[in-house]
Structures are given as C-alpha cells and as structure tokens.
Structure 1
Amino acid sequence: MIPWLLFPFRDVIPGLSVFRYITFRAALAAATALILSLVFGPWVIRTLTRLRMGQHILQDTPENHQAKAGTPTMGGLLIVGSILISTVLWCDLHSGGIWVALVSLVGFCGVGAFDDVKKLLRRQNLGLRSWQKMLLLVAITLLVSWLVLHFNLRGSQTSQLSVPFFKKFRPDVGVFLVPWICLVVVGTSNAVNLTDGLDGLAIGGTLIVATTFAILAYVAGHAKIAGYLLVPHVPGSGELAVFLGAMGGASLGFLWFNAHPAEVFMGDTGSLALGGALGTVAIIIKQELLLVIAGGLFVWEALSVILQVGSYKLRGGKRIFRMAPFHHHMELGGLKETKVVIRLWITAIVCCVLALSSLKLR
C-alpha cells in the first residue's frame, strides 16, 4: 500500500523509486512485522493472561512439561496480526497471490482459534474432534484451490509439478490437482501443528522455512533467474516474497517471547495458520515437492506420529519411539529441551540449504 501511495512522487522526491523493488519491500515487511511483534507482544501476553487463556497440558507428555500449564496460548493472533499489517503495508495489492495467501492464513487461523477456544472452555487439551478440524481445513483449502485455479496463479502448465534435482521431469497431475493442493496445504498445516510441542521449536522452524521460500518465490517471479535456474516461472509470484518476509519477521518477533522458558504459546491459532500459508505459497510457485525437503523438520515430526500410531495398531501395542512426535523421543532420551530445539533448528537449516542447492543441482 505505502509504495503505491508514494510512487506518484517518485520524480519529486529522490530515492522513492527504490520501493518498486521486491527485495527492498520484503526487508521492510520483515522489519515491520518484527517491530509490531516486539511492541505489541507484552500487551498480547497480558491480555491473554487476564482472560485466563492458559494452556492445558496433556498427561502423557514428559513430566517437565506439566510446569508449563497455565502459560498463555493463542499467541498466534500476534503472529497473524503482524503478518497481515506488514504485508498490506508493503505489498502490491494488485497481486492475486498475496490475497490468496492471506485468505489461507486467516482461514486456518480461524480454525485454530476455534479449536483453542474450545480447549480453554473445556479446561482440557481437547478441542475440535479430528474429523471436525479436518473438514474445516479441507473446506478452506477447497476455496484456496478455486482461487488459485480461477485466477490462474500457477501460470502456464497449471497442473505440472516441479521435481527437485531434475531439469525437465515435470509430471502432470491433471484432474488430481485439487486433491493434490488439499494434500499439500492441509498436510503442511498439520505438520507444523505437530511440531509445536517445545518452546521455540515450531516458530524457529517456520522462520527458517519462510526465509527459504521467500528466496524461492522471488526466483519463481523473476523470468530471467527462473529461466537460468530451470525452475517454473510463475508471473507475479515474486510479490509473495513480501508476504514471506513479513512471516519471517513476525516469527522472529514471536520467538523473543516463545523462547525457553516460553511466556506465550502460539497454539493451533498460529501453527495451523503458518503451515497453511506456507503450503499455499508452495502451491502457487510450484515448489510443493521442494517443501518436503525444505520443511524436512515438519515432515519428520508428522511422519514420526504416523509411524508410531501405525506401529501401535499393527504390531500389538509396540512402539517405535519412546514418545511421538520425535522431539519428545529426544527429550525422553535424556536431552534438555533447549538442546533438542537447537539441534532440530540445525536440522531445519540443513534441509533448507539442501533445498536451495537443488536449484543448481539439476
């Protein structure tokens, strides 16, 4: 918004033309979201505490987690609010991709908030039933799918996928594109949600992946760079770097309060929203398969739960891990929470470096 208010004066006031650069506005969006998070964070925490929005801890989590009971949750409202304001201030409001990403962010945030409120009202860590939550998430994703297809946000060869490390292998999902979008967006949302179990873990992982995908979005939107790196060029998708810059800044600001010992939790309000938005961006820029690599932390956390449940049901109660998700397995192995978080952050960084390296290794 701000750049287009100032742009008519570009010939009068020197330096205003810099606002047309996506990289500059992405940096400003990140800085704005960071400042908003740091400024309003204490007020949000006080408000949530006053409203008695305290987290209820499951009994089957490690014993040291019981001390976290009562920590304010629904801090995702701070994250989503900071992203919304920063994106609208610094993006090109004519970009359809931006609006679809915001629809996904707000829609998934709404489902998460509904779930969190139900948990708080029941005074236990049980909100929406699994099928209810899944139904709502799929409904929002179907809307996102329609918007992506209706406005042709994936560019030419809409149903083709980009496969990492391969130059010309572009499988076409055809009529299965909508189910594919649902799988990616809902799956990413739930994966981030499952990762959100230790102080700073999910938000730190989100910061790393959002920064990586800001680079990928910029590359996809730049015809020359995309052509040189042999990745799909999606016209207009570069503007999503501003949105992801805001996500990165908001994540960094929230981490200030969510680092161990956490003063506030994001809750489903934040984790579902962030995951859904990341999945949506990946769909628009045709890098959903690369998200599997860049978001390796989230994928492994979700996979550990699937493997644990499958083993328990199919092998007569036998478990693979001490506890799932995997971060609890590491805790029960004797590692302190902070060490688990930092090691998993390192894992996330390595995954994102590998994802970026795939741009040249083709």
Structure 2
Amino acid sequence: MAHGGGPRQVKLDRESELRIEVGYDAPLKLRLLSGTAEIFGTELPPDFWLTFPPRLKFAVFTWNGATIEMEGSTETEYTADETPNISYVNVHAVLEERRHRAKPLPPDDLNSQGPRVIVVGPTDSGKSTLSKMLLSWAAKKGWKPTFVDLDIGQGAITIPGCIAATPIEMPIDPVEGIPLDIPLVYFYGHTTPSNNVDLYKVLVKELAQVVERQLSGNAESRASGMVINTMGWIEGQGYELLLHAIDTFNANVVLVLGQEKLWSMIRNVLKKKPGVDVVKLQKSGGVVSRNAKIRKKSRSHRIRAPRSALPIGAEPAADPTRLAPVNINRDLLHTVLAVSFAKEPDQIISSNVAGFVFVTDVDIQRKTITYLAPSAGELPSKYLIAGTVTWLET
C-alpha cells in the first residue's frame, strides 16, 4: 500500500524485510534507528539519513530485528516475513568456502580460480538484486569479486544497450549503486539482442577475453571470482545466448531464479560438463512484474543516471559485425552515442568505450551535431558509435 510523507517508524522482526517503492514525484529519506539491517546485502549505517530517488524499488532486510524511520511518500510499502534471503546467504557461504579453497595456491597457479557465478531467470525475477547481494557479502569479507553485467535491457553498471564488467571492492552503495570508477564497457547499441544476435555474442566474447586477461594477472581477483548478471530473455535465441554466456565465461555455478523448466533444461545440458553446479532458487522477494511501459521508464532513468563511463558497438549490415558509416540526419536527434577508445575503424568492434554523449541538436546543412557530455574538453576518440538507444526527458 502507498503511504504519505510524514515521519514514521517501522519495527522489523528478525529475518523480515520492509519492501518499498519510492513515490513518483519526490525522494524518500530513511535511517536505521536501532538493530541492524541491510539493503541488497549492504549494511545500513546507524542513525544516518539516506535519500532514495523517486521510483526506486528496494527492500530493507534484517537478520536480528531493527527499527527504521522514514520520511517522504511511497508508492508501495509493506513488511514481509517470508524472504528467500536465508537460501541466498547459504549460497554465499558455499561461494565463500570455494574462495578460501582457491586462495592458498601459489599466485602463479592459474588453477586458483574462485567461483564464477552466473545468475539466470526470466524478467523481473530479481537477478540484479541477488547479484548485488552476493557481491556485497563477498566484498564485506574482504574479497574483490568482478561483476559482469550482460543485461542490455536495463544496465546495472552503466546505461542500457551495454555489457560491462567492474571489480567490486566495497559493499554496493544502496543509493549510488555500482561504482563507476573503472568499468570495462562495450556498447551493443540496442536494448534487445534480437536486433543483432551475432554482434551481441562477439561483444560478450570480447568482454570475457579482457576479463580473463585481467584475472590471470591477479591471484586475489581470481580467487574472488565473478558474479554474472544476465538478460530476462530465456526462450529460443535468448536461451541459446544464456548457454553461450555460461560457456564463454567458464561459469561453474549457475543460479536459476524462479523457473523450474529453465533449471531442468540447463542442468540437462551441463551434466556433460563436470564441475558446474546448477542451483534452483526462489525468485527475490518483493519483485514486482513490470509491464513494458514501466521497464521503458526505468530504462530511461538508467540512461540519465551515470555520472561517468562509456561503451562500444556497430551498425548491423549484411555482415552482422560490419561497420557502416552513419549519415548526419534528424534520426540522430535524442540518440545516445558511445565514444570508442578505437584509434582506427577496424578496432571499433574490439574496443571498449570511454563514455557516452547525448545528441541535442543536428545541423543537416553543416553536417554537425551538438551533444551533451558528462565532462568538458575533447573526446578521447573521434569515433562515435550509434545504435537504437535514445533518451527523451519524461
């Protein structure tokens, strides 16, 4: 149920959670008054006001009981005492054991590999929530797991239309989200892989190879392992792309959320692969199925949010990975372009991106565009990549 804006306290019993969707027009302030609680696996500091932006959905969970104070309106706000977090923390304990087993090996032993966890399931099953929990719990224990986000529909690290990876060195900030200091980002340019499946697979492979190189040079990161978030498209080609991701990243733990059939299919395929565990879990508590319109709004919000970061991609033609020059025309208005790190055109597919610019105006006569960039000064490259990602103020 919704709640008005006045200050109020909520007492939570042990192993329960307060599920919240912030109101559409104003932020929500929240603080922990007593006990202990966490959001997406990150502990709340005592007596410190956090401000959550409009429309954000999150849950405050407590293991041992807590009192929360809030100020501001919510669209949804209720307490639940049945959550899957116990099973999630049990998964974390198993992963923790595997990290410890990987750690004592000599630094030059490339077998010192921690868990490579891939989280799969349909749209709105809580994949990114579980990913954040597992990453935050690992970081709290001193590990530095790598977060890989293959979900081009929403984009947990940067904007939609990208795949990305970044090391997680601290529990994830419940308001700011994934840190954007050093993400490795590739721009696919569309919010569904069906636009160009072959290009999507090529970029997933590029990202995997770079992550692999980074891990091979760092025993601590290797033992910490990775958590891979995937798309909600699990039928037909989407299913094939899941198997491709599992194979490309050499995942050894597959967590299937809220989908018996998908769990059974993946388990049957992977039983020929020794050393891969396929685990069925309940979908994340408080996950609300979003219709296409709400997902589109959320996508638009994700485009507005990043303060830094940038990606790579290409226009599909007869050859799915062939580059095609883009004409300066009105179609570019309101598009998001990626700034490639490529020095030459033939490096664009294999290059990650430095960041994004947003086209605010197009002058057809002069063949120029006006863009908005996150920082002043020259762009790091003259190659900009266009896809179908647009952003209109809502």
* TM-score of the aligned structures, taking structure 1 as reference length: 0.26
* TM-score of the aligned structures, taking structure 2 as reference length: 0.25
Higher relative contact order structure (alpha carbons within 8 Å, sequence separation ≥ 6): 1
* Greater fraction helix: 1
Q: Which has the larger radius of gyration?
A: 2
